[in-house]
Structure 1
Amino acid sequence: MASEQVARAESERGEVVLLRRESGAVELRVNGVFVMDTVETSTEQALATRALAVVNEPRAVLVGGLGLGFTAHAVLADPRVEKVAVVEIEEALVGWMRDGTVPHGPSYLADERLTVVVADVRAAVAEATPASYDLVLLDVDNGPGYLVHDSNAEVYGATFLRRVHDLLRPGGALVVWSAAAAPELGEAVAEVFGAVVPVPFDVDLQGRAEHYWLYRARR
């Protein structure tokens, strides 16, 4: 399917590109790797809804990875949520969402409860106050088996996950998105939280049958 380049930026991590297909769908690629599009967004939304369903009072939510905004938008649809902090490392992507290069971006970012921080999620978590969030949702790349940046491997390890655990209030939840089954991630989450719930999803990605996964745990 033919696509046209809508926007492109480079950082020390490489290239970020927005494409528009003939159908009008928008696609995000980082260093040539498909990250997401505006067609199949069910698991990005489920990343939010599955976590919201297991927390009684999800007042404060941290989302690692802005993507095209669908996870944050699903979080904000819950009236119990009082504040959402989205951490996104690519400043250009945040700009494209804000200025309408991504057409739905301005409306998705307009909610007064939402704050978008341009930073590495590892630094943001390290600097955050312990026990300050009810949910932490991580979708910083395509999961541990398909890293957009090699350094993101740390996000799926026990050391970082312990910091996330400490960030959560009692009864809070963590959900991690992955493009494929990730047993080692499941083991790391279980090591830190005591248990993990792997949730598989069947999706249709540009006519191909794929299986995405969410890894959920509670403090």
Structure 2
Amino acid sequence: MIPWEHLATTQIPGASGDMKLMRRGTEYSIMLGRIELMNSRLSGSEEALAKLSVEKIAGRPVPTILVGGLGMGFTLRALLAVAPRDARIVVVELVPAVVEWARGPMAHLHAGSLDDPRVEIVVHDVASVIGEAKSRFDAILLDVDNGPEGLTSDANDALYTAKGLSEARQALKPGGVLAVWSQGPDERFAARFRRGGFAVEEVRVKAHRGKRGARHVIWFGGK
């Protein structure tokens, strides 16, 4: 078996522990300690997050979409494939090195998506960006950590609290949608999401593009 190669290490603002970029042949992995945050072989659910979100805001003029978390760029690439030509896509990434890796060792995975004229990359805390916005976004897509239980920083935890959900609702335009990706189900979060005044739909999607394998969860909350 091909061994893993350690390509880079970085620190996460506001959190302890190292984030590492690893490679094994053509496979890439981003790790937090021993926890795998993302893997280049698993992109099906991130692509579903993008496609289903765009379907829910179809027909809106000049839609503005916020993506929380750049990661390996699967959500962004899928968005660019289905979003209108006049869409504005704001990608907020907390860790500067993740953007550097997207332009460096993982540039082929991102396939030029960061340079698309519809895209704005913001290196910042997505919770702060959402908290400062009022009726700005048609859709907010949260693809940070492994779901509602934040792993990389306390700020990410705040996204899923009652206060965080309230701020997300205020950041949406009327009729907008908040989409939350998760590695698995979370009944407590789903209940909290509904109590936040959203019309919530839970969708199970395939982690892989194939027919078999694990399924992830996406919650869609309509304002």
- The ranges of structure 1 where at least 4 consecutive aligned residues each deviate by more than 4 angstroms after the TM superposition are none
Query: Match for 1:29: what amino acid?
Result: M
Where do 1:119-138 residues align within 5 Å? 119-128=124-133, 130-138=134-142
Matched with 2:18 is 15
1:131 to partner: Cα distance:
1.0
- C-alpha contact (below 8 Å) 1:33/1:148 kept by paired residues: no
Distance 1:177 1:135 in 2: 13
1:185 aligns with 2:192: no
1:82 aligns with 2:83: no
Q: Which of the residues 93, 96, 106 maps onto 1:91? A: 96
In angstroms, what is the RMSD of aligned CA positions? 2.1
| Deviation per residue, 1:45-100 (Å, 9 max, x gap) | 11111111111327100001111111111112224252111111100111111234
Query: Match for 2:91: what amino acid?
Result: V
5+ residue gaps, structure 2 = none
Distance 2:202 2:139 in 1: 17
In structure 2, do the counterparts of structure 1 residues 204 and 55 end up closer, same or farther at CA, with 3 Å as the change threshold? closer
Q: Partner of 1:103: helix, strand, or coil? A: helix
Distance 2:4 2:182 in 1: 26
1:146 to partner: Cα distance:
6.1
Q: Partner of 2:196: helix, strand, or coil? A: helix
Matched with 1:51 is 53
Distance 1:204 1:105 in 2: 18
- Size of the aligned set, in residue pairs, is 215
| Deviation per residue, 1:99-141 (Å, 9 max, x gap) | 344433361211011111111111111122x111100000111
5+ residue gaps, structure 1 = none
Matched with 1:103 is 108
Query: Match for 1:173: what amino acid?
Result: V
Distance 1:3 1:103 in 2: 19
| Deviation per residue, 1:152-203 (Å, 9 max, x gap) | 2211111111111111111211110011101111112111234211111243
Q: Give % identity.
A: 31
Distance 2:118 2:69 in 1: 17
Q: Which has the higher contact order (CA 8 A, sep 6+)?
A: 2
Query: Match for 2:161: what amino acid?
Result: G
Q: TM-score, normalised by structure 2?
A: 0.88
Distance 2:154 2:136 in 1: 29
Q: Partner of 2:151: helix, strand, or coil? A: coil
Matched with 1:116 is 121
Distance 1:164 1:48 in 2: 18
Q: TM-score, normalised by structure 1?
A: 0.89
